[in-house]
Structure 1
Amino acid sequence: MIITVTMNPSIDISYPLETLKLDTVNRVVNTSKTAGGKGLNVTRVVHELSGQVLATGLLGGHHGAFIQTQLDQEGIAHDFSAIAGETRNSIAILHDNGHQTEILEAGPNVSEIELAQFEEKFDLLLKQANLVTLSGSLAKGIPTTYYSHLIAKAYEQGVKVLLDTSGASLKASLESPTKPFLIKPNTEEIFDLVGQTLSLEDLPNFKAVLSSDLFAGVEWIVVSLGSKGAFVKHHNRFYQVTIPKIAVVNPVGSGDSTIAGLAYAIDQGKNDEEILQYAMVCGMLNAQEAKTGHINVENLPALKAQIVVKEV
């Protein structure tokens, strides 16, 4: 089973506008409200791939109840730990021909007691897990080293961890003695980590950076390159992944869907090429849909066949 962890979930609200006008009223006709946060987007896509998945993390208040109800309606298994604070909203305004403006609430403040209660649940869930995904930001009150703590717990149980976070949390996990099995930084996040921009035009430097001590012990490094695909290190092998052009409807959640594809394919024992194809195709399929963290699996085979994975 794949366990997805969302420590700062949200109700993801999407507002599509032809033009975003400042200092005036913007009226939205088609609004979507989705049980969200990065980890729940991962959950939904794994579920749509027919993978065995269970969502956990922290939920509180009326917003938390809304999320649990929506997951129940979709038939998605979940076992969250309750907190006193209200789960947040995350607003994405899609406007002006492909532009995206996000308004993200910080989320509730989590107490030490609430974290301890979650950890008791997490320890029990690890006993039935093959793989864990840790996604997104940490709510207030949770230390930046907390993902490292969860990774160590999973490692003790022989459970692989796919980590999708950024900033101090990502850096702390890379500096920890126990490393995540996989990370999926984008180019901006790589720049924050190593202090330089990486380019496919300078493959020797790209390889050297991903082979540096900072990433030692991380089995998979999947660097997202947006429309250019991805550059990947698995053990001592490097892959360049190219993807076809698509018509983008809603890019929100595509990175999470990429993690879902990775988690599903790794859990299914796929080879490197198929793991990376599933990763990219799920990200693209999400971008073709209006709903955040959702794919149309009927379109998967044809699009997956157009993804090229080349060892370099």
Structure 2
Amino acid sequence: MIVTVTMNPSIDISYPLETLKLDTVNRVPFVSKTAGGKGLNVTRVIDQLGGDVLATGLLGGHHGAFIQSQLNIEGINHQFAKIAGETRNSIAILHDGGHQTEILEAGPEVSILELAAFEKQLHLLLKEASLVTLSGSLATGIPVDYYQRLLSIANQYGVKTLLDTSGKSLKASLENTEKPYLIKPNTEEISDLMGQELVIEDLEQVKLLLSGDIFTGVEWIVITLGAKGAIVKQGTDFYRVEIPEIAVVNPVGSGDAAIAGLAFALDSDFSVEEVLKYGMVTGMLNAMERKTGHINPDKLDKLKEKIVVTKI
């Protein structure tokens, strides 16, 4: 069973507009509201792939109840810890031919007692888990190094951890002995982490940076490049992944879908090439759908055939 952790869930609201006009009224013809937050997008895509998945994390208030009701409707297993605060909204405005403007609430304040109750529940879930994903931001009141604590708990049970976060939270998770099994930064996030720009065309620089001490113990480093695919370090090997051009409808959640594909493939003991293809194809399939965190599995095999994985 794959367990997905979402420490700061949200109701994801998507507003498509031909043109975003400032200082006036904008009327939208279509609104999408989904149970969201990065971890729940991961959950949904794993479920659509046919994986055995359970969602956990923190939920509170009317928004939390809405998210639980949506998961129930979709038939997705979940066991969330309850908090007193109101779960947040996250708004994405899709406008002006491919531009995306996001308005993200910080999320509720979480107490030490609420975190302790969540951890008690997580211990029980990890006894039955084979893999866990940790995704997204941390709500107010949660220490910036909190993912390090969750990594330590997962490692107690020998559960592989896929970590998808950025900034101080990612750095704190890598500067300790308890390391994630996989991380998935984009070029901006990895450059910020290393304190220098990563030049993808300079493969020797890429190899040198990704072999740094901070990454010791991390089995998979998947650097996503958007439409250009990915650069990957797996063990001591490096790979370039190239993807075909697609018609993008809604890119929101594509990174989460990629984590879902990676998690599903790793949990299925697929080959390195298949793991990378699943990570890329699920991200692309999400971008081709209107709803965030959704894929059409019927399109998977044909699109996956067009992905090229090259050892470098």
Asked if TM exceeds 0.5, the reply is yes
Q: Tell me, in whole angstroms, the C-alpha distance in 2 between the residues paired with 1:199 and 1:192.
A: 13
Name the structure 1 match of 2:97.
97
Deviation at 1:308?
0.4
State the TM-score, normalized to the length of structure 1. Answer: 1.00
Inter-partner Cα distance in structure 2 for 1:200 and 1:289: 29
Question: 1:289 — aligned with what?
Answer: 289
Deviation at 1:195, TM superposition (A): 1.6
1:191 positional shift: 1.0
How is 1:58-207 mapped onto 2 (pairs within 5 angstroms)?
58-207=58-207
Query: What is the Cα deviation at residue 197 of structure 1?
Result: 1.6
Q: Tell me the distance in 2 between the aligned counterparts of 1:74 and 1:221.
A: 32
2:42 match: secondary structure: helix
The corresponding residue for 2:304 is 304
Whole-Å separation in 2 of the counterparts to 1:201 and 1:158: 36
Offset at 1:201? Answer: 1.6
Task: Write out the 4+ residue segments of structure 1 that deviate beyond 2 Å after TM superposition.
Answer: none
Q: SS in structure 2 opposite 1:69? A: helix
SS of 2:147's equivalent?
helix
TM-superposed CA distance for 1:70, in Å, is 0.3
Residues of 1 paired with 2:198 and 2:171: CA distance? 18
* Residue type of the alignment partner of 1:66: F
- The DSSP-based 3-state class of the residue aligned with 1:201 is coil
* Alignment gaps of 5+ in structure 2: none
Counterparts of 1:45-56 in structure 2, within 5 Å, are 45-56=45-56
Cα deviation code 1:216-266 (max 9, x no counterpart): 110000000111000000000000000000010000000000000000000
1:226 is aligned to 2:226? yes
User: Aligned residue for 1:247?
Assistant: 247
Task: Return the alpha-carbon distance in structure 2 between the equivalents of residues 159 and 246 of structure 1.
Answer: 35
Aligned Cα root-mean-square deviation (Å): 0.4
Shift, 1:179, TM fit: 0.2
Specify the code of the residue in structure 1 equivalent to 2:66: F
Q: TM-score normalized by structure 2?
A: 1.00
User: What amino acid is aligned across from residue 37 of structure 2 in structure 1?
Assistant: G
SS at match of 1:120: helix
- CA-to-aligned-CA distance 1:157-206 (integer Å, 9 cap, x gap): 00000000001110000001110000000001011111222223210010
SS of residue matched to 1:261: helix
Paired with 1:178 and 1:6, the residues of 2 have a C-alpha distance of 20
Which secondary structure does the structure 2 equivalent of 1:155 belong to? helix
Percentage of matched positions with identical amino acids: 70
Where structure 1 has 5 or more consecutive residues not aligned to the other structure, the ranges are none
Q: How many residues align?
A: 312
Per-residue deviation, residues 127-152 of structure 1 (Å, max 9, x unmatched): 01000000000000000111000001
Q: Deviations over 1:2-35 (max 9, x none)?
A: 0000000000000000000000000011000000
Letter in 2 for 1:175: E
Tell me the distance in 2 between the aligned counterparts of 1:308 and 1:95: 31
Alignment of 1:256-275 (within 5 A): 256-275=256-275
> What secondary structure sits across from 1:200 in the alignment?
coil
